[in-house]
Every structure is written in structure tokens, then in C-alpha cells.
Structure 1
Amino acid sequence: MAVSIRLDPEIEERLDQLVAQTGRAKSYYLRELIEGGLDDLEDFYLADATMERVRRGSEKLLDATQVRKDLGLDH
């Protein structure tokens, strides 16, 4: 999949320097950044969306006492 993005000139210069010093392609480093950061982005934005549903009252909440009992964690 081809994607086009605009980078801040300072960021692009840093990327260009890294490419020049290592001989790897820009696409290699951009792919590394995306793959490495996607988990964090998913965690943040999915958690944020869940909290918004909690605030609206449309997300089911579980009581910790009941969960512990259901899992057999209370003796």
C-alpha cells in the first residue's frame, strides 16, 4: 500500500541524516516507526474510546468483587 505523508522539515532532515549514515531506505525507517508505535496508538485510542463509553454510561462495568468470586480468587 502506498501512502503519502508530509513531515516537518526538521523531522525530514533527521530522517535524511539517518538514511545517509546507515544506507537504509526512508521507507524502512518509516515502516519501523509505524510498526513499533501502532501498539501504543491502539492502546491509547481504544482505551480513550472505552472511557468515553463509560462516561456516557454505555459501557458495561464489572464489579471487582464479583469478578474475583467468578474467577475463584476469593477464598
Structure 2
Amino acid sequence: MIFAIHVQHLNSGAVMLAIRLSDDIESRLDSLAKKTGRTKTFYAREAILTHLEDLEDYYLAAETVERIRRGEESMHSSEDVRKSLGLDD
């Protein structure tokens, strides 16, 4: 699959993002748009929004794991946290 991104800032404050998709993905997207009466842009935006939070969470977690491995971040057991909050009384 070819993947390239071109970003253009528009006067409205929005950003136009152009991506290249394989013929297969573009065909599937086009078919879905035609069947549902929505635009390909709608579905591309929905796909990005659906997965963006998961990707952000993944990379934040990966960064945290690296800080832990380098000794820059400490870990606490759930037992210690519960005790410090007075939840195990």
C-alpha cells in the first residue's frame, strides 16, 4: 500500500489532508460511500476519529513503559495505592 500525506491549511481554520490509498482500499471506500449516500471524506474522517484515541493511548503507554525501564518513572502496586488512600480499612 502506498501511503503519503499532504497537509494544507485552509482559511476556515480547517486542515485538508490528502492521502494515497491502494486501489483496493479506495475501491472499498468508494463502494461504501455509494451504497450509503455519504462521502468518502466522511468515512475517512470517521475511521481516523475512531482509532485516533486508541493510537494516542498506545503511544502514551509505550512512552511510560520506556521511562519505567530507564528508572525515570516509578510504579506502585494497587495494594500500596489502596492503602495510601485508606481504602483497605
Cross-structure match for 1:64: 78
Alpha-carbon distance, 1:50 to partner? 0.8
Structure 2 counterparts to residues 32-51 of structure 1, below 5 A: 32-51=46-65
Secondary structure in 2 matching 1:14: helix
Listed as ranges, the gaps of 5+ residues in structure 2 are 1-14
Listed as ranges, the gaps of 5+ residues in structure 1 are none
Counting matched residue pairs gives 75
**Residue 45 of structure 2 corresponds to residue 21 of structure 1:** no
Secondary structure in 1 matching 2:18: coil
Cross-structure match for 1:54: 68
Supply the distance in 2 between the matched residues of 1:71 and 1:22 (Cα, whole angstroms). Answer: 52
Alpha-carbon distance, 1:34 to partner? 1.0
The residue identity in structure 1 corresponding to 2:80 is Q
- TM-score of the superposition, structure 2-length normalised? 0.74
Q: Report the aligned-residue RMSD.
A: 1.3
**Residue 32 of structure 2 corresponds to residue 31 of structure 1:** no
% same residue = 52
Q: Which has the higher contact order (CA 8 A, sep 6+)?
A: 2
Higher strand share: 2
Higher helix share: 1
The residue identity in structure 2 corresponding to 1:64 is S
The residue identity in structure 2 corresponding to 1:10 is D
